[in-house]
Amino acid sequence: MGEFVKLEITDGIGTIRLDRPPMNPLNTQVQEELREAAHSAAGSDVVKAVVVYGGEKVFAAGADITEFTTQSYQDMVLRAGDLSSAFDAVARIPKPVVAAITGYALGGGCELALACDWRVVADDAKLGQPEIKLGLIPGAGGTQRLARLVGPAKAKDLIFSGRMVDAEEALRIGLADRVVPAAEVYATALALVKPFVTGPSLALRAAKQAIDGGLNTDLASGLALESQLFAALFATNDRIEGTTAFVAKRKPTFTGR
C-alpha cells in the first residue's frame, strides 16, 4: 500500500482511499500510488466492485499547484502522459467503480471522479475544473470525459469559466448520479455497488468494455465490438448458470468463470 493511497478490501468491495490531509492534493506521488491501487483492484479476483473515496471532509481539491510553479514545458512534456494515464488506470478498472464525493472535487479531483462509472455526491459538495484560472486546461481527462458526460456545450461552460457547481446543478446536468447528505456518501456508494459483488463479473466487464469502447468510436464499430463481446460470453460458466437458472425459475449463483 502507498503512503497516501490505499486499497482496502471488505466483502468483495475495494475502496481506493485517498489520505493526504487536509485537501488530498494530487501530486506525483499520489498519482503513481493511485495507478498502483487501480491496477491492484483491477487484477484482484477478490475485488468485484470499487469505491474511490477521499474521506469524510474532502474528495480531492485538485493538483498540488506548488509542483507546477517549478516545472517547465520540457518537464511537463515528460510528465503529462503519466498524469493522464494514472487517471486512465482508474477508468480502465474492468469492474463497476463509483466515486464517493465529499467536500470538493476540483481540477484533478473532478477528473478522478469523471474516471469512475458513477458519482455519489454530498449535498454540500462543490465540483469543477478551475484550471483556466491558472492559465491552464484540464490535463488528466477533463476536456474529454466531461464533454462525453454532460455534452460539449456544458463542458465548455464549466471549463472556460472555471466555475464550481454545487450538488444540485451537478445532478441536473448529469455530473452527479446521486446526491445525499455528506454523512451518507460512503454508505450510499457502497450500497450502489454491493449488488455487483455477487453478479456475473465477466458479463459486467464486457458491458463496461462495450459501453466505454463504443463511446470512442463510430456506431458500426461499436456494434461490432458489442457483438464480439456478446458472443464471447457464451464461453463462460456464468452464461450457462444464468440461462439455466432463468429456465428453472431460480436465482442464479454466479462464480465469475
Residues present in the chain in total: 257
Catalytic one of 42, 61, 63, 113: 63
Residue 30, burial from CB neighbour count under 10 angstroms (0-12, 13-18, 19+): buried
Residue (of 40, 171, 57, 45) closest to 118 by Cα position: 171
Helix (H) or strand (E) holding 51: strand 49-53
Catalytic one of 55, 108, 139, 142: 108
Catalytic, 67? Answer no
- Residues forming a β-bridge with 118: 98
Residue (of 94, 112, 91) closest to 24 by Cα position: 112
Catalytic, 147? Answer no
Catalytic one of 111, 113, 115, 176: 111
Which residue has cell 484540464?
138
Catalytic, 213? Answer no
Q: Residue 85 in contact with residue 79, Cβ under 8 Å?
A: no
Helix (H) or strand (E) holding 231: helix 219-232
Catalytic, 33? Answer no
CA distance 78 to 132: 21
Residue 116, burial from CB neighbour count under 10 angstroms (0-12, 13-18, 19+): buried
Catalytic one of 131, 139, 142, 206: 131
Which residue has cell 473532478?
110
CA distance 198 to 69: 47
Catalytic residue list: 63, 108, 111, 131
